[in-house]
Amino acid sequence: MSIKTATLNGVATIEIARPEKKNALTAAMYQAMADALRAAQADGAVRAVLITGQPGVFTSGNDIEDFMSRPPSHGMDAPVFQFMFALADCDKPVIAAVTGAAIGIGTTMLLHCDFAYVSDEARLAMPFVGLGLVPEFASSLLLPQLMGQARAAEKLLLGDPFTGADAVEIGLANAVLPAGEVVNHARRVAERFNSLPPGAVREAKKLLRKPQAEAIRQTIQAEAELFAARLRSPEAMEAFQAFFQKRKPDFSKF
């Protein structure tokens, strides 16, 4: 199984475990993560959720081959959107341990986690436009608010990669740590919620998230419509063909 789940000492862990494919996410993996988040939400013994990857890689984003053969064309019921809404709607604290590369949704999901700890080897990027696509997971709304319009344009329009230290500086992550310490540190933070009143934690999180909740939902849906249309565009076809052929895409004809 490419998604491993376990609950220990009040922490529900969701581990992306497909290192042979750099933790690239398939539809089945999105479904498994959505199910795990909903199960954690319903389990009274769970006080916090920890999302992590493998040494050297958090996730390389969508598995392009799987994505092209099973595009999210069934509205908001598609597994990727089930995952997005399950994460955005989770009322328990979610802690991310970014153990390496975090590409595409590997970066945008951090916008919906309450805490993110990144390794000093982490490299983050959102290369949507370079693939002929548009931003997703409400990143077009949240990133400009987080880092300002100019730097958000670098990240979303140019797809410029950035480091874990950059992620901390712009407010996307809490701290950068040596690679071998990230998961244990994130777990210790998650376990702190065992000694806090769970009802107060949930209500406080709702207050923190409430002003943006409806705008996030609307933006996810608006982005999804454009994303689906862009998947069928000649530009995206050229980008994906270039990816599979291991060459640089040629957009000069568009």
| Statement: residue 1 has pLDDT above 80 | no
Percent of the chain exceeding pLDDT 90 equals: 91
pLDDT at 66: 87
Angle between helix axes 139-147 and 198-231 (nearest 10 degrees) is 120
pLDDT at 149: 96
Give, as one character, the DSSP assignment of residue 204. H
pTM of the model: 0.96
pLDDT at 241: 93
- Cβ neighbours of residue 238 under 8 Å, at least 6 residues apart? 132, 249, 250, 251, 254
Q: What mean pLDDT comes out for the span 184-211?
A: 98
Helix (H, G, I), strand (E, B) or coil at 106: helix
90-128 pLDDT, tens digit per residue, is 999 999 999 999 999 999 999 999 999 999 999 999 999
| Statement: residue 33 has pLDDT above 90 | yes
| Statement: residue 165 has pLDDT above 70 | yes
Q: Could you tell me the pLDDT band of residue 74, with boundaries at 50, 70 and 90?
A: low
Kind of pairing between the strands at 94-98 and 48-52: parallel
Q: Could you tell me the pLDDT band of residue 73, with boundaries at 50, 70 and 90?
A: low
Percent of the chain exceeding pLDDT 70 equals: 99
| Statement: residue 70 has pLDDT above 90 | no
pLDDT at 68: 78
Burial of 80: CB neighbours in 10 Å, binned 0-12, 13-18, 19+: buried
Strand order in the sheet with 100-103: 56-59, 100-103, 123-125, 162-163
The rounded mean pLDDT for the chain is 95
Kind of pairing between the strands at 56-59 and 3-8: unpaired
Q: What mean pLDDT comes out for the span 7-29?
A: 97
